[in-house]
């Protein structure tokens, strides 16, 4: 009988304690909500400063309000642990920690702006085919024109750094094929005009004008090839397995030299038989130039080429010494006829 009463008293005591704990939690929650509702209306935001302070997450603000309200009411004595240690407060703290973690890991607007800015800068540097045709190739076209028409020793007022930079950018933007095609077409058109001008030249000026055209073109290649060296290295040599200088020399051979070799060679042989009809330097430039363009042309006039290029004829033999002596005597007679005195050297 006594044991049953003790059990009832014990059971009743436990139920009363749980009821008091629920009442306390309920009072704490109501206090937190009352404090949150009694907050003054939100004030207008202060003016933005140069270094704005980071905003607290909403969960942290709610926790602060609940704590302030609890301090005003105070805990009830003998009714369990203080409010900050109960289950509701712990749940609020966990939710605040999670919210703070999300805010800390979220990307800031400034980082997004920086990424978008860098992306826009990259897109702005892209050279489209329209940009190439309207901006970059006209610069290259004008520079090539000046180089092809300059006289040897002339100063050309162009920026080699700017032209090289244009070539470099076009190659990096995958315009090498178009640029190579434009370059070949440009030089081909120039050489066709040169060929027509040579055809209209009178015979007495034909050799001199051919020498001028050859020297002018070879001099231009000394500047054009280095300017396009980046295209030559990463497109012509890599994909076409050729060399830019060889391609440009071949253009002169096909569009100028081949069309005029059969008119030029008889004039050269005639000039050779008449000493000083043309200057020796002009004769040497033309002969060496023709040999560079196509070595097979030596067979058209081996004696003429042998005077300016070594090892063209076979080695001399003893049986031909009389023939060599006769050629030297003829040269001396020609010199005397043209007013050159004979010099005697006494040893």
Identify the pLDDT of residue 38.
55
Confidence class of residue 293 from pLDDT cuts 50, 70 and 90? very high
Domains of the chain by residue range: 125-338
CB-based contact 228:245 (threshold 8 Å): no
pLDDT tens, position by position, 142-195: 999 999 998 766 767 778 889 999 999 999 999 999 999 999 999 999 999 999
**The two three-digit tokens of residue 269, written as one number:** 């042989």
pLDDT tens, position by position, 7-50: 444 444 444 554 455 555 555 555 555 555 555 555 555 555 44
Q: Provide the mean pLDDT of the chain.
A: 75
- What class does CATH assign to 125-338? mainly alpha
Residue that wins the pLDDT comparison between 324 and 106: 324
pTM score: 0.59
């Amino acid at each position: 009988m006594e044991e049953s009463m003790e059990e009832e008293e014990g059971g009743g005591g436990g139920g009363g304690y749980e009821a008091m704990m629920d009442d306390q939690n309920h009072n704490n929650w109501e206090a937190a909500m009352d404090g949150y509702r009694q907050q003054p209306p939100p004030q207008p935001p202060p003016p933005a400063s140069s270094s704005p302070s980071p905003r607290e997450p909403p969960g942290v603000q709610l926790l602060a309000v609940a704590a302030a309200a609890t301090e005003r009411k105070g805990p009830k004595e003998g009714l369990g642990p203080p409010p900050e240690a109960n289950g509701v407060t712990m749940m609020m703290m966990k939710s605040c920690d999670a919210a703070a973690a999300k805010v800390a890991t979220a990307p800031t607007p400034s980082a997004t702006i920086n990424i978008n800015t860098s992306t826009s800068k990259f897109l702005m540097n892209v050279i489209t085919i329209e940009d190439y045709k309207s901006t970059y190739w006209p610069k290259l076209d004008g520079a090539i024109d000046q180089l092809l028409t300059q006289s040897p020793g002339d100063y050309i007022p162009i920026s080699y750094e700017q032209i090289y930079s244009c070539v470099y950018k076009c190659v990096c933007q995958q315009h090498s094929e178009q640029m190579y095609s434009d370059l070949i077409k440009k030089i081909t058109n120039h050489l066709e005009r040169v060929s027509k001008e040579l055809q209209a030249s009178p015979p007495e000026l034909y050799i001199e004008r051919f020498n001028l055209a050859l020297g002018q073109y070879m001099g231009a290649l000394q500047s054009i090839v280095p300017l396009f060296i980046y295209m030559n290295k990463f497109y012509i040599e890599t994909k076409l397995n050729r060399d830019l200088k060889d391609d440009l020399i071949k253009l002169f051979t096909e569009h100028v030299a081949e069309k005029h070799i059969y008119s030029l060679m008889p004039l050269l042989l005639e000039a050779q038989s008449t000493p000083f009809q043309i200057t020796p330097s002009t004769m040497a430039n033309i002969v060496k130039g023709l040999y560079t363009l196509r070595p097979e042309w030596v067979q058209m006039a081996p004696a003429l080429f042998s005077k300016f290029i070594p090892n063209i004829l076979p080695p001399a033999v003893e049986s031909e010494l009389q023939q060599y002596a006769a050629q030297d005597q003829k040269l001396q007679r020609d010199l005397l006829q043209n007013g050159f005195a004979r010099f005697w050297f006494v040893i």
